[in-house]
Each structure stands twice: as structure tokens, then as C-alpha cells.
Structure 1
Amino acid sequence: MSSPKLNLFSFSGNIKILHMTWIAFFISFVVWFNHAPLMLSIAKTLNLSQPEIKTILILNVALTIPARIIIGILVDKFGPKRTYSTLLALGSIPCFMFATADSFQELALARFLMGFIGAGFVIGIRMVGEWFPAKQVGIAEGIYGGWGNFGSAAAAIALPSLALMFGGDEGWRYAIACTGVISLFYSVVYFFSVSDTPKGSTYFKPKKAGAMEVSSIWDLFFYVAMNIPLYATLSLLTWKLSSFGGANYTNLISDTAAIFIHIIIWCLFAYNVYKIVHINEEHLQKPIDAIHKYKFKQVAILDLAYMIAFGSELAVVSMLPMFFYETFHESQGITMIQAGLLGGCFAFINLVARPMGGWFSDKFGRKLSLTIFMLGMAAGYFIMSSIDAQWPIVVVVLLTMSCSCFVSGGCGAVYAIVPLIKRRMTGQIAGMVGAYGNVGGVLFLTILSFVTPSIFFLVMGGVAITVLLAVQFIDEPQGHMAEVLEDGSIEMIELS
């Protein structure tokens, strides 16, 4: 299995689409994380307490879980061009709301709504999958994910300087508003610069919108079961933001409101189950031709793989600077600034490691690549669990960067498979897999609040081993997938 080289210096054909789309993802992540590097200034201006700051941070990811599912449905129905442009334009609104907020409540509402733009990642997966053949889709998706994901780091680097340039205690407002202007401007640029498919190609859409089609009654039950953790995570977030969740967060939600929200969440789950059954009941009542079948286990295993890969990345990036400071401040004199810089190396590796994961999948096989990355991830976390104050800083940083290579590479390997399962549902599959990444982030950070960092790393290593075993049951994409054209004829799409 070989991958033709990509001329990334070109700006035509599918390379143009790749560049335009990773920039859209990059901007969406700049907007999504524009608050993080400015949080101290924001807190000072509005006199925020520590629980209020933590509440703002967790609200930033709360809406992203359902948003990725919803965006997956929309991109399959309306196409990535319209969906991405609309999301970037609408995402500027809560950005402006946040920039002009004068109270904690206004900040909290804007930040909650801002989580929707974090779902933009899903759209580009479908777009890139449409434009690149199977032998290049891994490296293309890896570049899209890795370079776009760097938007969070770019925000951390650029926005404090931009706020300083505007000057004064209100400089952060202008810096954040600038990201909204950029998002709004690029929404127009993107709409007029791309198309959903190459000329002459068909954009395949699901027969019905609202849920994925499955190929067997057992896959139907499996699909329903895999939706439970998504809603459970929303309940967990509700619990954290109520008085039941303890003193770490502001009691933004009263006990009565929290109970009401829990009821709404699980009523939505019941409605989702109804939609899943309704969309699948008709075609499951008659035999499905073998060429139209796919195994839902492929989606489920990728859900779990992304949960540990991206979920652990979110958690580690959040805790690593403080971990370095608390571990090495007294023994080796590490300052808070140095700890922040050292902790940033974990996320920085994503720029090259995620494309590497996709390239490795294209060249050596999807299943083998995912296996290697899961194994390396497990080993990395197990070793990191033994870090103590006596370890040399150089060794710790090298270990952290090595572990990050496997974590980010694993993310790239996951999305090297997603576009090769069922073309017309790529958005929905990418949305569900992406949502599981956020589930992992919430889950691991919740675990961290109850245990030591050492146990935290051990838990993630154990989860990686469990997922490694699950990966052995995934099927290597090969041969062709079938999609039905509007005239009823069949188009075979190459998978290897």
C-alpha cells in the first residue's frame, strides 16, 4: 500500500481544498480557545472567582458533544461548503457576545454557545474525504487535523500580544472581537472558494436525516448502546455545574434546574432512540445486499480509540503545566512560566504527529497503524505515571514528547479510517467519533479531580490497553464501498 506524494506548495485542485479547509478549522479553533490565554485578564476585569473561572472553562466544551453529532448530520445533508461557511459566520456571534460581556452570567452564556464552533472539525473530515483517494486520505486528513488543531496554540501565542497592543484592562475584549471578525470574513471567503466534490463527482447523501443507517438488527442495538455515554457525559457536566458537584465549580445551576436538565437530556436520548429505530426499521425488514452493508463495530471501535487518543490529549494538555510546576518547583526550581512552556510541548507535537499518523496508515495499513499507536500510547502513560521530583527535566520532556507522538498519531490513524466506512454518512460517523473525543476529555479530567496525577496516567494507560484489544477486532478497509447514484446505478469507491 503506497501513497503518492502531495505537493503541498500547490494551490490548485484537491491541495487548494485541503489548504482552504484546514485554515477554516484553524480559525474555528482560534475562536473556540480564544479565552484561555486571556483568562487572567478577563478574571481581573470582571472580578471572577476561581470556581467561576473553572465553570467558564468547562462550559467551553459542554455544547461540543451534541454539536458534533448535529453538525455531522447537517454536513451529510447540506454539504461541507455551506455547513462550514454557516458555522464560521454564526460562530462569530457568541464571540462578539463574549467580548462585550459585563458579568459572569453573560460570559457563561457566550462561552456555552461558543462550544458549537468546536464542532467545525467534523465538517472538514467529510470535505477532505471527498477530494482525496483512499491512498492519500490518511495523510490529507492528518494534515487537516494536525495543522487546524494548531489554532488553539496559535491563540495562546498571538492573542496576549494582540491584547497588549490594544492596551488597557479592556485589551482582551478587542483581541477576542478580532477573532470573531476573522471568522466572519473567512466564512465568505470559504463559501466562494471551494466546492463539495471534484467536478463530475457525486455528493452522496443519506436517504434519511437524523441518525445513521445500520446494516443489521444487532448493529441497531449496538448503535443505541454507543449513544448512552454521550448523554451520560452531558449529565456529568450538569452535575458538575450544580451544587451536587461540590465546590470546584460555581453553582451555576440550581438543584431543581439540574434535575430538570437531567430529565431533558434523557428525554432527548429517548427521542434519539426513536429516530434511530424509525430511520432503520424499513430497510432492516428486507434483506440488504452484501455490497451495501457495513459493520457498525468499525464506528464503535473508532469511537473508543478517539476517546482515549483525543480525550487524553485534552486532559493532559489541561493539567501538564500545573503538574510540572508542582512536581519540579521545589526540587529543580521550575517557574510557572517555564512549566507552561514545557507543558505546551505535548500539544505542539500535534502539528507533525497527526499527519504522521495518517501517512503511516496510508503506507502500512490502517489496523496495524492504530495498533502501534495504541500500544505506544499505553506504554507512554504507564511510564509517565512513575515521574517524580528527582527525574531530570530533559528526560521528562523527551518522554512527554514521545508519548504525545503516539497520542497525536493515534488521532491521525483514527481519521484515516473514518472516510472509508460509508461515504454518504462520513459526516455523521466523524461527528460521533469526534464527540467521543470530548467524552474522553470530560471523563479523564473528572477522574483527575479525584486521584493523584500518577493514578491519572495509570488509568489512561489502562484504558489504552483495553482499546488496543478492541482495535484487534476492526476490519482493514479494502476492496470497494458501494453508493447508489440518483439514477439507481451503483458507484464503487476504492478503499485501498
Structure 2
Amino acid sequence: MSTSETSSTFNLFSFSGKMKTLHLSWMAFFITFVVWFNFAPLLQAVKETLGLTTAEIKTLLILNVAFTIPARVIIGMLTDKYGPRLVFSGLLAICSIPCFAFAFADNFTQAAIARFALGLIGAGFVVGIRLVSEWFPHNELGTAEGIYGGWGNFGSAAAAFTLPTVAVMFGGDDGWRYAMAITGLMSLAFSFVFFKNVTDTPKGATYYKPKNLGAMEVTSKGDFYLLLVMKVPMYAALALLAWKLSPTGVSLLSDMAVNGIYLGLAALYLLDITKVYKVNKHIFDTPVPEIHQYKFKQVAVLNVLYFATFGSELAVVSMLPLFFSETFELTPVVAGMVASAYAFMNLMSRPGGGWLSDKFGRKPVLIILTAGLAVGYFVMGLVDSSWPVWLAVIAAMTCSFFVQSGEGAVFAAVPLIKRRMTGQIAGMTGAYGNVGAVTYLTVLSLVDYSTFFYVISGTAVLGLIALLLMEEPKGHIAEVQEDGTVELISVSS
């Protein structure tokens, strides 16, 4: 990666070479989050126009995240195989269709199908992780991935701030429809911009692809079994979502339908096992040469950490306005403003976590940020009405810094494990963030706010213990070119 395009200085105000790729990547990710989160700020208007019940609205919110878990894994595989340029452009274009479908839905069933399909756009994040890793050297990678993740992630906050105003500008009962349709148009238009202006790698660099598309490659027997174990929570989270739609939850699906989903998920897991075995059966006969080995344990630890960081962020962002309004008897508007400060931290915290990782090493920074995360949520569990509001806000903001810096630090490490599988690794780690959100929101529906924060703090402690077992990526990643020669890609100084 010695081309002038990647060796130029890291200048945020530049729009050429690697910086152009970074800016177009975060913009694409930003748009996917605007589209994915365009429902929550317009929820009340949708409820009134379509005549939906509170249970149906809750169901739409569940459906919005359901498909994202498997989608991130699938999109990660497709990215490794076909390249980020094609996959991201295609995703932006294809997902504009369910966005338009939701905007012009006439009943709950149409809205539910469109919202479920829109979970696919939540997988866009994974594509940019691989693209940015192709363009930046290891000593700038954490910062670049942090900017990509943090600025793109801000799309959800941007949707919350702007879409209600856009809906009012159009006016009438259908204002929300136009606001949502505009986000779909943005997605469709940017798919062409992205395709025209981005390349998968700098000029002259090789884009390494996995040997097989069907499943993740591992390089030892122990890693094979660990991969099978790490897949279980993803299926369990989907089963949990199905349970929420059952008569025990919001009663959208019958017991028979939910049992059918459980059986289907079990069958899919068994199929998944056979695919993993088919791709990796050679490791049971012939050891993989050391130069080509990687440790799946690193992926597993990063999965757990993203479960605790991004999983808690998604869960906390959705409950924080209610928490502040109930605890301190604030008006919904004031509570919303206070809670939005949590999302605002993304602009600086996530790039900050990536920059710290570049400067001081992946593992030490992750240890400090995860410890801060555990303490931060423990303190949030202590907040009650006797606290001054300003102190509670500072506690939430401090906690938010550790959460989002932790996300930046996780994805500073992801691209350094195995280059040709970066999409798949990012897909699995990203999916664990959604698994965390589903888990924490389920916990929240069963316990009080304090216990909810303590549970997140406890999982962060488990992440910290797992992190102590992780080895920092160091030396080089070996990748084989088409002519059989081996290229060594540096991952540490």
C-alpha cells in the first residue's frame, strides 16, 4: 500500500485519494442510518394516519432491527467477494424500494413487511469498514474507521432532528410520507454518486477475496468449535425477537407461527454448521501453515465487546428520554434534548477511540475504555430523583464517551485480523452489536432502570475478562496473490 493515494498526509479537509474515499464512505453510511432510523421521529404521525395500536407500533420497532442481524453477516460475505463499491451502491439503491413502500403504506401489514425489509440497510456499516481498511495504513486505520463509524452513525440523530421539521414543511396528515420518501430518494441518488466515484482499492493494489463465500474460514480445530459457539447468540437473538411477537409479547404471531420460526432457526443453524464444516474440513487433516493462520479468538473477544458497546448504545438511546422524563419529571421535549446529547458524542468519541488505538495500541486502549464503560453504567444505575439533573447528564455523557470510544477501538482492531475476510469479521462483530441491543431491550422490559444499567455494567466486566485473553494484532497479515506470491500486509509498527 505504498501508492501516493494512501501515503499522502491525513488531512480531513482534503477530498482526493484516500480522503475522498473516507468522506464518500461515511456519507453513504450516514444515509443508511437516516433511512434506517427515519421511523422513530415520525412514529406518532404514522400511528395516527394508519390507525395503529401501541402494540403494532412496538412490533414495527422490533421488525426494524430483526433482519439486520443476519443481514450484516450476509453483506459482510458479499463485500469480501464482490467488493465494497458494488455492494454499497447496490444496497443504497435496493433499500430505497422498501423505504418508498413504507412511506406509502396503507395498513399495518404493508408497513410491517417494508419495515422488516428495511433492516437490510442497517448492514451498510459493514461495507465501509472493509473499504476504509483497503485505503489506510495500519497507523491511521483506527482514526479513519472511527471517523467513518462516528460521523456515519450520526445519521440516526440527524433523522431525529430534521425529519419532523421536513414533515411539518409538507404539512397535512401525509407530511411524514414525504419526509420518509425524501430519505429514500437520497439513498437512491447517492448509490449512483458512490458507484461513480469510489474504487475498491488504491491504484495498483490487490483486492483479496476469501476462498469460499459460504462460511467464515478458520485456521485451527479449536477455532472451528469456537466459531460454532459464537454463532449461537445470533440465532438466539432472532428467537428472542420471535418470542416478542408471540402471544406472550405483542401477539402479532400465533404460537404455531412462532414455533415454526423456532424450528426454522434450528434448521438454519444446522445448515450453517454443515457449511462451516464444508469450508473448513481440510483443517482436520492438514494443519494450516503458521504464516496463514489467524486467531479466531480475537474475533470472538471483539464480538463480545461490540455486544456491550454498540448493543448498549442502541438500547440506551431508545430508553433515555423516558428515563430522564420519569426520573426528573421533565417535559418530553427537554428529556429528548438531554438524551440527544448521548448521540451527539458520536461525532468525536468514536474517532477519538480509533485515534487512541492508533497511538497507544489496540489492546491497552480497549482495556481502559471497557473498564470505563463498566464503571459508567454502574454509576448510571445509581442515578435517581435525588440527583441534580446536571449531574445525571454529566454521568450519561461520560458513560457515552466510553461506549462510543469503545466502538471506535473495536473497529480499529477488526481490519487487522485477516484482510481478505475483513467484511465477514466486521459483519459478525456488527451483528453482535444488534444482538446486544435485542438482549438489553428485553432485559429492560423485565426489570427497572437501575437493574438494566447494572446488567450492562456486568456484561462489560465479562468483556473485560475476555479482553485479557486477547492477543494484540502484530507483525503482518499474509495474503496470497493470484500468481501464488505472498504479500505481507503490516498491522503494527
Identify the TM-score tier after normalising by the shorter chain. Answer: over 0.9
The structural deviation recorded for 1:432 is: 0.2
Match of 1:232 in 2: 236
Relative distance call for 1:437 and 1:4 in structure 2 (3 A) is: farther
Match of 1:287 in 2: 287
**1:366·1:417 contact (CA, 8 Å) conserved in 2?**
yes
Letter in 2 for 1:98: F
Give the TM-score, by structure 2 length.
Answer: 0.98
Match of 1:32 among 31, 36, 46: 36
Cα separation, 1, equivalents of 2:403 and 2:228: 28
Match of 1:146 in 2: 150
Q: Secondary structure at the match of 1:482?
A: strand
Cα separation, 1, equivalents of 2:353 and 2:232: 29
**1:215·1:284 contact (CA, 8 Å) conserved in 2?**
no
Letter in 1 for 2:468: Q
Letter in 2 for 1:69: V
Cα separation, 2, equivalents of 1:485 and 1:22: 29
Match of 2:333 among 320, 337, 345: 337
Q: Secondary structure at the match of 1:417?
A: helix
The structural deviation recorded for 1:4 is: 9.3
Match of 1:484 among 480, 483, 493: 480
Counting only pairs closer than 5 Å after superposition, residues 318-337 of structure 1 correspond to structure 2 as 318-329=318-329, 334-337=330-333
The structural deviation recorded for 1:282 is: 2.3
**2:84·2:200 contact (CA, 8 Å) conserved in 1?**
yes
Match of 2:378 among 359, 365, 382: 382
The structural deviation recorded for 1:5 is: 6.0
Match of 1:51 among 27, 50, 55: 55
Match of 1:82 in 2: 86
Letter in 1 for 2:52: L
Match of 1:253 in 2: 253
Which runs of no fewer than 5 residues in structure 1 stay unpaired?
A: none
Q: Secondary structure at the match of 2:382?
A: coil
Match of 1:307 in 2: 307
Match of 2:388 in 1: 392
Match of 1:296 in 2: 296
Q: Secondary structure at the match of 2:197?
A: coil
Cα separation, 2, equivalents of 1:288 and 1:209: 19
Cα separation, 2, equivalents of 1:211 and 1:372: 33
Match of 1:269 in 2: 269
Match of 1:407 in 2: 403
Are residue 176 (structure 1) and residue 173 (structure 2) matched? no
Q: Secondary structure at the match of 1:483?
A: strand
Q: Secondary structure at the match of 2:477?
A: strand
Equivalences, count: 486
Deviations 1:332-391 (A, max 9, x none): xx2111011101111110111000000000000000010011000000011111111011
Deviations 1:309-338 (A, max 9, x none): 000011111111000011001xxxx21110
Cα separation, 2, equivalents of 1:73 and 1:160: 36
**2:32·2:122 contact (CA, 8 Å) conserved in 1?**
yes
Match of 2:246 among 242, 265, 268: 242
Are residue 460 (structure 1) and residue 456 (structure 2) matched? yes
The structural deviation recorded for 1:284 is: 4.2
Match of 1:443 in 2: 439
Letter in 2 for 1:437: G
Match of 1:156 in 2: 160
Counting only pairs closer than 5 Å after superposition, residues 36-115 of structure 1 correspond to structure 2 as 36-115=40-119
Q: Secondary structure at the match of 2:396?
A: helix
Which runs of no fewer than 5 residues in structure 2 stay unpaired?
A: 1-6
Cα separation, 2, equivalents of 1:262 and 1:244: 15
Relative distance call for 1:65 and 1:303 in structure 2 (3 A) is: same
Q: Secondary structure at the match of 1:279?
A: helix
**1:4·1:136 contact (CA, 8 Å) conserved in 2?**
no
Match of 1:13 in 2: 17
Deviations 1:78-132 (A, max 9, x none): 0000000000000000001001101011111100000000000000000000000
The structural deviation recorded for 1:287 is: 2.3
Relative distance call for 1:404 and 1:293 in structure 2 (3 A) is: same
Match of 2:3 in 1: none
- Per mean C-alpha deviation after superposition, the further-off stretch among 397-406 and 251-260 is 251-260
| Residue identity (%) | 58
**1:4·1:135 contact (CA, 8 Å) conserved in 2?**
no
Give the TM-score, by structure 1 length.
Answer: 0.97
**1:361·1:413 contact (CA, 8 Å) conserved in 2?**
yes
The structural deviation recorded for 1:244 is: 2.8
